[in-house]
Amino acid sequence: MGQPAISPADAPLVLIVDDGDDNRLMYRDYLESAGYRVAEAEDATVGIALAKELHPSIVVMDLSMPGIDGWEATKLLKADPTTSTIGIVALSAFREPESRRRAKEAGADFFVAKPCLPKELALHVSECIRRRKA
C-alpha cells in the first residue's frame, strides 16, 4: 500500500541533514513526490541553525559527518527547548547495535541503516510524524 497523499497546505516539513549531495537529492526528490516539504543542510552546523529557524516536523540526520557529527547534533537539538520536540530519524552506514543504541541515547526517534531506499526512509518519516502527533 502506498503513502497517503498529503495536501500542500498541511504538508509536514522535513529537514535533511547529510553531507552527501547524492543522498540529499535522492531523499529530497522522493519525499517531495510523497507530498512533504523539504529543506536541506550539507552539515550539522547548518542543520542545527535551520532546525531552529524553520521548526521542521522531522529532521533526517546523517550520523557520520565531518565537524559536528549527527550524534552530537541530535543531542544539541534535543537539549534545546526550541527544537527538543522535533522528531529525528537517524541515518547511518554503521549497522551494529552499538550505533543504534548511541542514536537512541542521543535522542533519535528512529534509526535507519544506509544504504536505504527512499521509500523505506519515507515510511520511517511518516511513522515518526504519526507517533509525535499521538
DSSP-assigned states of every residue in 65-108: -SSS-HHHHHHHHHHSTTTTTSEEEEEES--SHHHHHHHHHHT-
Which residues, listed in sequence order, are joined to residue 91 by a DSSP beta bridge? Answer: 62, 112
Kindly state whether residue 47 falls inside one of the protein's structural domains. Answer: yes
Q: Is the dihedral of CA 80, 84, 89, 92 positive or negative?
A: positive
- pLDDT for 116 equals 85
Give a yes or no: residue 4 inside a domain: no
63 within some domain? yes
Question: The domain containing residue 124 runs over which residues?
Answer: 12-133
Can you tell me which residue has the cell 520511517? 124
Q: Which three cell numbers stand for residue 20?
A: 552527501
Specify the DSSP element, H or E, that contains 51.
helix 44-54
Whole-number pLDDT of residue 63: 93
- Confidence bin at 90 (pLDDT 50/70/90): very high
Looking at residue 119, its amino acid is K
Strand partners, 92: 113
Residue 2: inside a domain:
no
Total domains in the chain come to 1
Asked if residue 5 belongs to a domain, the reply is no
Q: What is the pLDDT of residues 7-36, one digit of tens each?
A: 466 799 999 999 999 999 999 999 999 999
Query: Across the chain, what does the average pLDDT equal?
Result: 89
Q: What is the pLDDT of residues 108-128, one digit of tens each?
A: 999 998 888 888 889 999 998
Full-model pTM = 0.89
CATH number of the domain within which 66 lies: 3.40.50.2300
Q: Mean pLDDT lowest for which of 57-61, 79-83, 127-131? A: 127-131
Per the domain annotation, does 24 fall within a domain?
Answer: yes
